[in-house]
Each structure stands twice: as C-alpha cells, then as structure tokens.
C-alpha cells in the first residue's frame, strides 16, 4: 500500500483527526485490524463523506455531519432488536457499539433504513447494556 503510516495502537479517532485526514488527503483510507480474527479491515468512510458531499453540489466539507456517541431509541430491554437514531445516516458510515465493543456490520447489525436512522441488531441487548453509534448524518 502506498503512503502507509504505521501509528501503533489507536484507541479512538476524534472528529478533528478525521477532518484533518479528509482536508489534507494524506489518508484516503483508514486501515485497521479486526481484534477478533486479526483480518485487515479497510474503512473507506472518508471517501463516502467526500462522495456524498460532491453528489449534493460539492463545496466545503460540513464537519457538523460527523456524529459521535449517539444513543438510539428505545432503550435496550432484552427483546428489542430495532433501534432508531435521531436522524438519518449515510449508508455505509454507521458503526455500532454494544457496551464499548464494536459490532460487525452485516454480522451483528444491519443498516435497515439509513435515511430514516433505523438499524437492526441480530441479538437483543440486555437492559443493562448501552448501545451507541457513530455515523455521518444525511443532512
């Protein structure tokens, strides 16, 4: 891979880190390691942001669309599988966390209706578990 920068272990990327990567174009993709099976995961979330912005008329990147630590409704109860965020998200940009563990898209959750903010988990979280999401909003 060209221009690979090894940075060691990253525990969390901030909104400013992602914005800087998009603006500078030095990191067209973020490459991480899946902790469970050590597979290389190439997250092209940055290109999705740029492409979604270009398709709506271009211009500068609106960083207010980056949403972090958003809690969907309703609250987990041990039976609920379908959750809704307060706004729609760009398809392919949703990351879901269950008690601070990242879930795998299409394995642990599905982007049911991205434009309406709906997601479906494959197993119901208990009432003492916390579900939160990061995504890029549609507007």
In angstroms, the CA 66 to CA 68 distance is 7
Read off the pTM: 0.61
- Extended beta strands in the chain, E state: 30-33, 40-43, 66-70, 82-84, 95-98, 101-102, 109-113, 118-121, 131-136
Inter-residue contact 23 to 66 (CB < 8 Å): no
Inter-residue contact 46 to 136 (CB < 8 Å): no
Q: Would you list the domain boundaries of the chain?
A: 15-136
DSSP H or E run through 83:
strand 82-84
Question: Could you report the per-residue pLDDT of 75-121, keeping only the tens digit for each?
Answer: 999 999 999 999 999 999 999 999 989 999 999 999 999 999 999 99
């Amino acid at each position: 891979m060209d221009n690979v920068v090894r940075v060691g272990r990253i525990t969390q990327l901030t909104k400013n880190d992602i914005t800087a990567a998009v603006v500078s174009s030095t990191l067209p993709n973020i490459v991480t390691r899946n902790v469970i099976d050590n597979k290389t995961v190439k997250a092209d979330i940055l290109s999705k942001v740029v492409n979604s912005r270009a398709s709506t008329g271009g211009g500068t990147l609106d960083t207010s669309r980056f949403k972090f630590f958003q809690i969907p409704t309703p609250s987990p109860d041990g039976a609920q599988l379908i959750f809704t965020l307060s706004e729609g998200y760009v398809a392919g940009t949703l990351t879901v966390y269950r008690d601070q563990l990242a879930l795998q898209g299409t394995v642990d959750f599905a982007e049911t209706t991205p434009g309406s903010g709906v997601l479906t988990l494959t197993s119901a979280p208990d009432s003492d578990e916390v579900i939160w999401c990061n995504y890029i909003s549609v507007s």
